Chain A
Amino acid sequence: MNPILEVKNIHKNYANHVALKDVSLVVEPQKIFGLLGPNGAGKTSLIRIINQITGPDKGEVLFNGEHLAPKHVDFIGYLPEERGLYKKMSVGEQVMYLAQLKGLKKADAKAKLLQWFKKFEIENWWDKKVEELSKGMQQKVQFIVTVLHEPKLLILDEPFSGFDPINAQLIKNEILELRDKGATIIFSTHNMGSVEELCDNIALINKAEKLLDGSVKDIRKQYKSNTYHITFKGNLMGFTNALWAGAELLDKKSDGEVHSVTVKLLHQNKPNDLLQAVLSTAEILSFQEVVPSMNDIFISVVENKTTLNTQSTFTE
């Protein structure tokens, strides 16, 4: 399938700093794409370029294979991180206004809004003033407005901030449902837990540069450091002595007879080598490969300024 969005060699400079330096991305349709990076990395700059709020200094963006043009804004739904509503307007007027700005006809907008309001069980909010709603309630309204015109591409910047766990789950389910119905979602967040849960692919940006991209599964696989988690019964000392030069003990914890240790294999040794080495001294209860979480990957990549190709610096 052709990518829905291609970002090609984007550069963007502001007066005193470089916001984006030669950033390229490919977003495949009907996937949830995580755009990750620490604060000030350039995520919002990139999102604003995709939304045509600002333009790039160099490079281009293709939407469905076409050069990004004003007509495309109606196919994109954007929930910015800095978001709000007109406080003095009634909820109904406000959502009608925002829906029509996205190119929906009046009657169409009304019908769809009522559907969503019913789904979220907030029909009685229609005539309320926005200032009467709590922050979480306002976020719900904003989410509806973002997805109302059934955009092909949905860009959500920190969509869960301000939601309680129940409503966060509700929104999560909606996002998944939208993807299943055919929408593509770009999802920007600091919450790595939700990245693992939701994202199919990610890109990691730091200091204006893309450091890493690919599918979540592949990346986690690639970042495995040949480390294993073992719990066993027996003598800890004996276990440690049994480890030979091909393995290194990273961590140990004891609970009475039961010990749990983290061991890293060196020099491309196989897990079976490790098992053979320790089998005689310990009764193995569990043996598990340690797969790094997105959180670990995020922190180590950002802190070490490492790209995928120089993985060795990470495993040292």
Chain B
Amino acid sequence: MNKLLLIIQREYFSRVKKKSFLIMTILGPLLMAGVMIVPVWLAMRDKTEHQIFVLDHSGLFIDKIPNTKEVKFTYGTGTIESAKAKLKDGPFDLVMEIDIETINAHKATPFLYYKTQPGIAVEQYITNTMENILFDYRLQGDSIDITKIDKARRPVEIITLKVKEDGADEKTNTELNMGVGMFFGIAIYFMIFLYGSQVMRGVIEEKTNRIVEVIVSSVKPFQLMLGKIIGVALVGLTQFILWIVLTTVIYVGITSTVFKNQIQDTLTQNAQIEKVMKNDILSQSHKMEKVGTPNEVIDMFNFADGLNLPVLITCFAFYFLFGYLLYAALFAAVGSAVDSEADTQQFILPVTIPLILSFVIAQAIMSNPNSSMAQFFSIFPLTSPIVMMVRLPFDVPVWELALSMFMLVVGFLFFTWMAGKIYRTGILMYGKKTTWKELGKWLFYKG
């Protein structure tokens, strides 16, 4: 059997069989699903129904604040003491007192008494609704035609369209582009770090175990290095696929069972509120701050056709693969040059600087995706895997993409060759602290 294949096999199975792999594989999706579910859950959490007794001395708001599923308003009169007494006996858990001055005061300051503190959403709902009512009331008082104001004040939303070669237009979505690019960039960044350092640890392990000399008497050091890099890549791939599958299962599972009703409720409820707003308090619904709803997700899917997903995913696979291979070789070289993980600091920093740099400049790239800086860093092989992924959703010229890919392959070959030279010498060096000068000399030793 091919020796390289044997090495890949060992590297793969010895890692996949570890407990830590199992734990990471299960924990990863839980974390990811958590990140997706927790915001939804938080939004849903404040589902306790609030009964608010409104003591409106101004009389302006009586029967004007629409009830929602969570907040029901009851209007009444009397003293604040008698109103507060209602908190004790029920059924009210909130009492709001609106001052008579509210109408004319520079700033309205209603008081909200509670037994159990309501969520921020309730407060926000009341604030927004009251602001709208006051806005309309004042304008009416000044005999200003509200419909004219409404006509005059309109929201602006830029629709970006790409003019294609054939002259046809294509709808694009800048925010989505940024999100997708950043997601792919971050994914590559973390994968390179995670699996690159696994390669490094593997090399150090072999060196400190003193098994490396036994193995390189059977196979070429370069084969051993390559086998390790490919083996770990396959581990990464396995983990990645398991993560995607498990995350989807967990996410779909939870959202379709636990949150099913709530999501449905939120959808209908928001539609209701919008309707109420439009009819009752004129059409200023765009001023309303709504709690995050799956509406945005739906919007995103509608806009997704503005992205060229096959190209994006192909490029992601390419940049991930070659980016990882390039960096894994460097990590392997670092591992070979030291005796223990504690000694890696000196060499690991220069290796990670381009990675961190590309992550940092990704922000700047997004605001100006076609600047010369963006061009340079998306072609330079040490930064291109991340920077190009961030740039890619903004339509990179084909020649730049081709050049970047070509440079990455060249960079991969060059750095792997260089790493192989360092590795070959480094793995057999014990006990001596290696300097940069020595690393340089190792490059020129004869095989």
Residues of A within 8 A of B (CB): 14-15, 48, 51-57, 70, 73-74, 76, 78-80, 82-89, 97-98, 100-103, 105-106, 142, 145
Q: Are B216 and A101 in contact (CB under 8 A)?
A: no
User: Are A101 and B218 interface neighbours, CB within 8 A?
Assistant: yes
Q: B441 contacts A85, CB within 8 Å?
A: no
In the complex, A46 Cα to B177 Cα: how many Å?
60
Question: Known contacts A88-B14, A89-B14, A100-B1; is A53 also within 8 Å of B213 by CB?
Answer: yes
Rounded to whole Å, the gap between the CB of A104 and the closest CB of chain B is: 10
Task: Please report the total number of B residues contacting A with Cβ < 8 Å.
Answer: 29
How far apart are the CA atoms of A235 and B6 in the complex, in Å? 77
Please tell me if the beta carbons of B447 and A101 are within 8 angstroms of each other in the complex. Answer: no
B219 contacts A85, CB within 8 Å?
no
Q: Which of B126-177 contact A (CB under 8 A)?
A: none
CB of B211 within 8 A of CB of A53, answer no
In contact, A100 and B6 (Cβ under 8 angstroms): yes
Complex CA distance for A80 and B438, rounded to whole angstroms: 24
Q: Which of B214, B215, B438, B447 contacts A55 (CB 8 A)?
A: B447
A80-B217 contact given A86-B14, A89-B14, A100-B6, CB 8 Å threshold: yes
For the complex, give the distance between the alpha carbons of A84 and B220 in Å.
Answer: 18
The residue that A83 contacts in the complex, of B3, B14, B210, with Cβ under 8 A, is B210
Closest to A53 in B: B216
B228 CB, nearest partner CB in chain A, Å: 12
Of A56, A80, A87, A105, most B-chain CB atoms within 10 Å:
A80
A100–B447 alpha-carbon span in the complex (Å): 24
Report the minimum CB–CB distance from A202 to chain B (whole Å): 23
Does B209 touch A at the CB level, under 8 Å? yes
B88 within 8 A of A: no
Q: Which residues of B contact A70 (CB under 8 A)?
A: 220
Give Cα A53–Cα B429 distance, bound, in whole angstroms.
Answer: 13
Check B446 for interface membership: any CB of A closer than 8 A: yes
**Inter-chain contact A48/B428, CB cutoff 8 Å:** yes
Residues on B lying within 8 angstroms of A by beta carbon are: 1, 3, 6-7, 10, 14, 18, 205-206, 209-211, 213-221, 424, 428, 430, 438, 441, 445-447
Find chain B residues with CB under 8 A from A103 CB. 3
Give chain A residues whose Cβ lies under 8 Å from the Cβ of B221.
53
Known interface pairs A83-B213, A84-B209, A86-B211; A53-B428 also in contact (CB < 8 Å): yes
Residues of A contacting B445 in the complex (Cβ-Cβ under 8 angstroms): 14, 54
Q: Nearest residue in B to A84 (C-beta to C-beta)?
A: B210
16 residue pairs from A and B, CB less than 8 Å apart? A53-B428, A54-B447, A55-B447, A57-B446, A74-B218, A78-B217, A80-B213, A83-B214, A86-B209, A86-B211, A89-B14, A98-B218, A101-B3, A101-B7, A142-B214, A145-B214
The 8 closest A-B pairs by CB, nearest first: A84-B210, A78-B217, A80-B213, A101-B218, A84-B209, A15-B441, A51-B217, A82-B210
Say whether A78 contacts B438, CB under 8 Å: no
B-side contacts of A14, CB under 8 Å: 445
A86 to B212, CA, bound (A): 10
Provide the bound-state CA to CA distance between A76 and B445, in Å.
Answer: 24
- Chain B residues lying within 8 Å of A83, measured Cβ to Cβ, are 210-211, 213-214
**B202 → A minimal CB distance (Å):** 10
The docked-state distance in angstroms from the alpha carbon of A103 to that of B219 is 10
Contact assessment for B14 and A102 in the assembled complex, using a CB-CB cutoff below 8 Å:
no
Bound-state Cα–Cα, A54 to B220, Å = 10
- Contact residues in B for A102 (Cβ distance below 8 Å): 218
User: Contact: A82 with B217, CB < 8 Å?
Assistant: no
Q: Find out whether the CB atom of B211 lies under 8 angstroms from the CB atom of A84.
A: yes
Minimum CB–CB distance for A199 against chain B, Å: 22
| A98 B214 Cβ-Cβ under 8 A | yes
Q: How far is the CB of B350 from chain A (nearest CB, A)?
A: 21
B-chain residues with CB within 8 Å of residue A97 when the two chains form the complex? 6, 10
Q: Which residues of chain A are near B220, meaning CB under 8 Å?
A: 70
Q: B18: which A residues are within 8 A, CB to CB?
A: 88
CA distance A53 to B217 in the complex (A): 6
How many Å lie between the Cα of A145 and that of B430 in the bound state? 23
| Cα of A79 to Cα of B205 in the assembled complex, Å | 19
Q: Which residue of A lies closest to B444 (CB)?
A: A15
Assembly CA distance A98 to B6 (angstroms): 10
Residues in B neighbouring A53, C-beta threshold 8 A: 213, 216-217, 221, 428
CB-CB < 8 A to A86: which residues of B?
Answer: 14, 205-206, 209, 211
> Considering the chains assembled together, what is the distance between the CA atoms of A57 and B206 in angstroms?
27
Q: Which of B210, B219, B438, B441 contacts A101 (CB 8 A)?
A: B219
Which B residues are CB-close (under 8 A) to A54? 424, 428, 445-447
Nearest CB of chain A from residue B199's CB, rounded to whole Å: 16
In the assembled complex, the CB of A54 is this many whole angstroms from the nearest CB of chain B, namely: 7
Q: Is the Cβ of A101 less than 8 Å from the Cβ of B430?
A: no
- Provide the residues of chain B in CB contact with A87, threshold 8 Å: 209
Residues of A within 8 A of B438 (CB): 15
Chain A residue with Cβ nearest B206: A86
Within the assembled complex, what's the spacing in Å between the Cα atoms of A68 and B83? 100
B9 nearest CB neighbor, chain A only: A97
- In angstroms, Cα B425 to Cα A53, docked, is 9
Q: In the bound complex, what is the Cα–Cα distance between A303 and B434 (angstroms)?
A: 31
Q: What is the distance, in angstroms, from A158's C-beta to the closest C-beta of chain B?
A: 13
Bound state CA distance, A74 and B3, in angstroms? 12
Contacts of B210 in A (CB 8 A): 80, 82-84
CA gap between A79 and B210 in the complex, in Å: 11
CA distance A85 to B14 in the complex (A): 14
- CB-CB under 8 A from A80, the residues of chain B are 210, 213-214, 217
Question: Which single residue of chain A is at the shortest CB-CB distance from B7?
Answer: A101
B214–A78 touching, CB < 8 Å: yes
Known: A15-B441, A82-B210, A84-B209. 18 other contacts (CB 8 A): A52-B217, A53-B217, A53-B221, A55-B446, A70-B220, A73-B218, A73-B219, A80-B213, A83-B211, A85-B209, A85-B211, A86-B14, A86-B209, A97-B10, A101-B7, A101-B215, A101-B218, A102-B218
How long is the Cα–Cα vector from A48 to B213 in the complex, in angstroms?
Answer: 9
Report chain B residues within 8 Å CB of A79: 214
In the complex, A100→B227 CA distance in Å?
15
Nearest CB to that of A100 among chain B residues?
Answer: B6
B residues within 8 A CB of A57?
Answer: 446
Set of chain A residues within 8 Å of B14, measured between Cβ atoms: 86, 88-89
B216 to chain A: which residues have CB within 8 Å?
53
Task: Enumerate chain B residues within 8 angstroms of A73, measured Cβ to Cβ.
Answer: 217-219
* Residues of the A chain whose Cβ atoms lie less than 8 Å from the Cβ of B428: 48, 53-54
Closest to A130 in B: B209
Q: How far is the CA of A145 from the CA of B213 in the complex (A)?
A: 13
In the complex where A51-B217, A76-B217 touch, is A101 in contact with B6 (Cβ < 8 A)? Answer: yes
CA gap between A146 and B220 in the complex, in Å = 17
User: Which residues from B are CB-within-8-Å of A106?
Assistant: 1
Q: Which residues of B contact A82 (CB under 8 A)?
A: 210, 213, 430
Q: How far is the CB of B74 from chain A (nearest CB, A)?
A: 68
Instruction: Report the Cα distance A89→B9, complex, angstroms.
Output: 13
